[in-house]
Structure 1
Amino acid sequence: MKVHVLYEDNHLLMVQKPVNIPVQADKSGDSDMLTVLKEDLKVRYQKPGNVYLGLIHRLDRPVGGAMVFAKTSKAASRLSDMFRRRVVERSYLSVVHGVPKQKKGQLVHYLHKDKRENKVFVDPKHPKAKKAVLDYEVLESRNNFSLLAVKLHTGRPHQIRVQLSSIGHPIFGDQKYGQHVNKPGQQIALWADVLSFDHPIKKEPIEVYSLPPMDHPWNIWSHLRVRQTMPFNTLKTSEISS
């Protein structure tokens, strides 16, 4: 596994999560982000004993892109509070089937997660349903696919995948919420491209960018302005291999 570091200081570690890697250890026994990053910090800084690294938020296993971890408990507490207060801006790129009727829009649904199926359903009448809100913008459409920019206002499980599928535009490669239009084995085209917030300790603005690999279907837009104007983060410092 190779993990690109987008930003690092004494308090934060921001990385580009590879696709198909769990954020933390699960029953699969596969390598996970939290364990790999802890081991890397232990080796790079020659730390004895256990290394602290706070898991603040998650990305679904098949999804890649920008993530932030806390290297101190103080930063972890403040960052967690910032996520709860929704002052952390998170945006995503996604390739969906079809062309949405509205170029821009806000989606509001009430979602319920069935833990036995590990699947989320739109169900406003369910007593445990939670409100999910996102904004989207169609950046370009081609070959009956559309490239969307998505901004989250809430952080519900599988939120983007469920909400886009519910309006008739499932994400390319999504085997869980778009199996009727996707082929087995296709990689989901959902990528966390921007994380932006005020540093929890220094109070300075932090913004990192992460761009998806130019594999299909992302390469449909390799020539477009959207890729040229989204800068690679200049704060990228190193690459972790494990």
Structure 2
Amino acid sequence: MNADKHREAAAPLLPVLYEDNHLLVVLKTPGILSQADDTGEPDMVTLLKDDLKVRYNKPGNVFVGLVHRLDRPVGGVMVFAKTSKAASRLSESVRSRNFEKMYVALVHGMPPKPSATLRHYLSKDAARNIVTVHERPTADAKEAVLDYQVAASHGGLSLVVVRLHTGRPHQIRAQMAHLGCPLVYDRKYGAPPAKGERDLALWSASVGVHHPVSKEWLAFRALPPRNEPWAQFPDEAWRRAESMLAADKGSAW
């Protein structure tokens, strides 16, 4: 089922890709937290609860279950649960790796292969909020696996589609930097300085999951807005990226 279904109601606070009694799929704006922390800054869960209360004139508490996270500087598709039962079933899908997550990224340089599977082991320094990549199993490091495919290269940058098999903190950022191809604007992982402050060139472009009640496979897709730095790539490159995102679940690239 495609992700262009909308609920007719009051205009939502955030772009809604799909909504029913169990699921809420929206586009996260870069810079917003996935869930509340001690900074008190805006977060998706709180914003969506407030939005549902207003749109449906609901008194009291509204349930919004966080199913997966995106780093604060990352935008794109996010799936939330509207009931505790849906949250439990969707969380189990994440744990059992039946929850497909695909991204588009702009990286510096050209990866050594046009497509490949990367398998590393990541350890996180929580105090510095940075991840170290290891080639072999290491104490306190967790396995990290992704597939990538280059959709286009232009002006020293590459447009890359990534399918995650694991969901480690900073996984795409760290593994692509380990290849010598840090994400554009990702100074933490070695990107060169750039004028102005911009969000990471990383976007959650596709999420696929079995519906928690009907069990139907749903795929929700949205490309990033065509502003900088994404605007550097022509329509043909984005058509290639779209075809990669639409590839069947589990298919080889």
Q: Would the TM-score normalized by the shorter structure come out above 0.5?
A: yes
Is the 1:173–1:183 contact (alpha carbons within 8 Å) kept by the matching residues of 2?
A: no
The one of 225, 228, 231 equivalent to 1:216 is 228
Is the 1:135–1:152 contact (alpha carbons within 8 Å) kept by the matching residues of 2?
A: yes
The answer to whether residue 46 in structure 2 is matched with residue 62 in structure 1 is no
> Normalising by structure 2, what TM-score?
0.86
Distance in 1, Cα, partners of 2:121 & 2:196: 28
Q: Secondary structure at the match of 1:224?
A: helix
Q: Equivalent pairs: percent with the same residue? A: 51
Between the two structures, name the one with larger relative contact order (CA 8 Å, sep ≥ 6): 1
Aligned-residue offset at 1:180: 4.0
Counterpart in 2 of 1:89?
100
Aligned-residue offset at 1:229: 7.7
Seen in structure 2, the aligned counterparts of structure 1 residues 112 and 70 have a Cα distance that, compared at 3 Å, is same
Aligned-residue offset at 1:226: 2.5
Aligned-residue offset at 1:13: 0.3
The answer to whether residue 211 in structure 2 is matched with residue 199 in structure 1 is yes
Ranges in structure 1 where 5+ consecutive residues have no aligned partner: 232-242
Q: Deviations over 1:199-223 (max 9, x none)?
A: 1111112111111111122111133
The one of 132, 141, 166 equivalent to 1:129 is 141
Is the 1:161–1:170 contact (alpha carbons within 8 Å) kept by the matching residues of 2?
A: yes
The answer to whether residue 29 in structure 2 is matched with residue 36 in structure 1 is no
Counterpart in 1 of 2:89?
78
Counterpart in 1 of 2:155?
143
Distance in 2, Cα, partners of 1:229 & 1:122: 27
Aligned-residue offset at 1:11: 0.2
Counterpart in 1 of 2:4?
none
Aligned-residue offset at 1:111: 0.3
Aligned-residue offset at 1:224: 1.8
Q: Deviations over 1:91-133 (max 9, x none)?
A: 0000000011210001111001111111111144642100000
Distance in 2, Cα, partners of 1:230 & 1:135: 16
The one of 173, 176, 185 equivalent to 2:197 is 185
Q: Secondary structure at the match of 2:14?
A: strand
Distance in 2, Cα, partners of 1:111 & 1:33: 27
Q: Secondary structure at the match of 1:59?
A: coil
Counterpart in 2 of 1:98?
109
Is the 2:209–2:218 contact (alpha carbons within 8 Å) kept by the matching residues of 1?
A: yes
Code of the residue aligned with 2:190 in structure 1: it is: G
User: Which range moved further: 221-230 or 169-178?
Assistant: 221-230
Distance in 2, Cα, partners of 1:167 & 1:136: 12
Q: Deviations over 1:16-36 (max 9, x none)?
A: 000111111123322111100
Is the 2:53–2:62 contact (alpha carbons within 8 Å) kept by the matching residues of 1?
A: yes
> Normalising by structure 1, what TM-score?
0.90
Let me know the Cα RMSD of the aligned residues: 1.9
Aligned-residue offset at 1:87: 0.8
Is the 2:137–2:143 contact (alpha carbons within 8 Å) kept by the matching residues of 1?
A: no
